[in-house]
Amino acid sequence: MGTSEGIFKYNSTIPEKIFIPGAQKNYIAALYEDRDGTIWAGCKDGKIILLKNHTITFLNPKEGLPKVAITSIYEDAKKRLWFATAGEGIYCYDSTRLYNINTADGLSDNNVNCLYSPDGKQIIAGTDRGLSFITFDQGKKNIHFFCSKNGLPDNIVRSIVPARQRNTVWIGMQSKGILLFNFMHEQIEGITMAKSWPYSQVNDIIELKNETVIATEEYGIICYNKKDSNFSDKVLRDTVFPKRIADLQMDNEGNIWAASENKLVSFTGEYLRYWYSGKGTNFTKVHALFADDEKKLWFTPDFRLYESSTDKFSKEDLRSYDLTPPKDHVDITCFYKDKFGYLWVGTMGEGLFRMNTITGKWRRINENPIAYYGNILSIAGNDNQVWISTLNGVAKFNLSERNYDLAEKINYTNYNKKDGLGSDYIYHILIDSKKRVWFATDGAGVAVFDNNLFINFYTGKLFPSKVTYSLTEDKKKHIWISTYNDGLFMYDEKKFIQYGIKNGLTDLAITSIAADEYNNIIAVNKKGIDVFNPEKNIVQHYGSESGFTELQPNLNSITKDINGDLWIGTENGIVRFSSQQSFSTYTPVAVIESVSLFNKPVIMDHENGFNYNENSFSFKFAAAYYKAPEKVKFQYWLEGYSKKWETTGDRMINFPQLRAGKYKMKIRASASDNFEASPVAFYAFTISKSFWTTWWFRISTLLIAVVLIYLFFKQRVKSIRKKEQIERERFQLQYDALKNQVNPHFLFNSFNALMNIVEDNPKEAGVLIKHLSQFYRKMTAYSQKELITLEEELGLLNSYLYIQQKRYGNALQVAININPALKKSTFIPPLVLQLLAENAVKHNTISKFKPLQINIFSEEDMIIMQNNINIKMEKEESEGVGLQNIKNRYKLLTNKEIVLEETGEMFVVKLPLIHSN
754 pLDDT above the threshold of 70? no
Percent of the chain with pLDDT over 90: 56
The per-residue pLDDT for range 858-868, each reduced to its tens digit, is 998 899 999 99
Whole-number Å distance between alpha carbons of 346 and 331: 9
Percent of the chain with pLDDT over 70: 91
The per-type count for the chain, helices as H runs and strands as E runs, is 7, 73
pLDDT band at 151 (very low <50, low <70, confident <90, very high): very high
Instruction: Domain ranges for the chain, please list them.
Output: 1-60, 71-271, 590-693, 697-915
The per-residue pLDDT for range 30-69, each reduced to its tens digit, is 999 999 999 999 999 999 999 987 789 999 999 999 999 9
pLDDT score recorded for residue 193: 63
**pTM passes above 0.85:** no
Half-sphere exposure (CA, 13 Å, Cβ side) for 868? Answer: 13
- Out of 137-141, 807-811, 880-884, pick the least confident: 880-884
719 pLDDT above the threshold of 90? no
The per-residue pLDDT for range 208-226, each reduced to its tens digit, is 888 899 999 998 889 888 8
Written as one string, the DSSP assignment of 604-646 is TTT--EE-TT---EEEEEEE--SS-GGG-EEEEEEETTBSS-E
Single-letter residue type at 192: T
pLDDT score recorded for residue 428: 97
- Indicate the helix (H) or strand (E) that contains 716: helix 695-760
Q: Residue 911 in 3-state DSSP?
A: strand
Whole-number Å distance between alpha carbons of 789 and 828: 6
**Tally of CB atoms within 10 A around 702:** 9
CA dihedral of residues 298, 302, 303, 307 (deg, nearest 10): -20
Judging by DSSP bridges, how do beta strands 812-817 and 852-859 pair with one another?
Answer: parallel
pLDDT score recorded for residue 203: 97
Whole-number Å distance between alpha carbons of 787 and 779: 12
The per-residue pLDDT for range 222-276, each reduced to its tens digit, is 988 887 777 877 666 555 557 889 999 988 777 888 998 788 887 777 788 888 8
- Indicate the helix (H) or strand (E) that contains 331: strand 331-337
Written as one string, the DSSP assignment of 555-587 is EEEEEE-TTS-EEEEESS-EEEE---GGGGT--
In contact, 783 and 831? CB cutoff 8 Å: yes
**Section 637-658 average pLDDT:** 94
Whole-number Å distance between alpha carbons of 169 and 118: 9
697-915 matches 590-693 in CATH topology: no
pLDDT score recorded for residue 769: 75
pLDDT score recorded for residue 759: 67
* Length reported for the chain: 917
pLDDT band at 194 (very low <50, low <70, confident <90, very high): low
Single-letter residue type at 499: Y
Single-letter residue type at 666: K
pLDDT score recorded for residue 85: 98
Domain range 697-915, CATH architecture:
2-Layer Sandwich (3.30)
Return the higher-pLDDT residue of 763 and 81. Answer: 81
pLDDT score recorded for residue 809: 84
pLDDT band at 733 (very low <50, low <70, confident <90, very high): very low
- Mean pLDDT over each residue of the chain, to the nearest integer: 88
pLDDT score recorded for residue 81: 97
**Section 902-916 average pLDDT:** 90
**Residue 129: closest CA among 89, 163, 178, 185:** 89
**Residue 592: closest CA among 600, 582, 603:** 603
741 pLDDT above the threshold of 50? no
Per CATH, the number for 590-693 is 2.60.40.10
Q: What is the rounded end-to-end Cα distance, in angstroms, of the chain?
A: 79
Whole-number Å distance between alpha carbons of 378 and 471: 11
Conformation bin of residue 766: beta by default, left when phi > 0, alpha when psi is -120 to 50: alpha
Q: Does domain 71-271 have CATH number 2.130.10.10?
A: yes
**Tally of CB atoms within 10 A around 299:** 26
- Out of 330-334, 780-784, 793-797, 830-834, pick the least confident: 780-784
Return the higher-pLDDT residue of 436 and 797. Answer: 436
Taking each helix axis from N to C end, the angle separating 695-760 and 832-842, rounded to the nearest 10 degrees, works out to: 50
355 pLDDT above the threshold of 80? yes
**Section 795-813 average pLDDT:** 84
Q: Which of 321-335, 543-557, 652-666 has the highest mean pLDDT?
A: 652-666
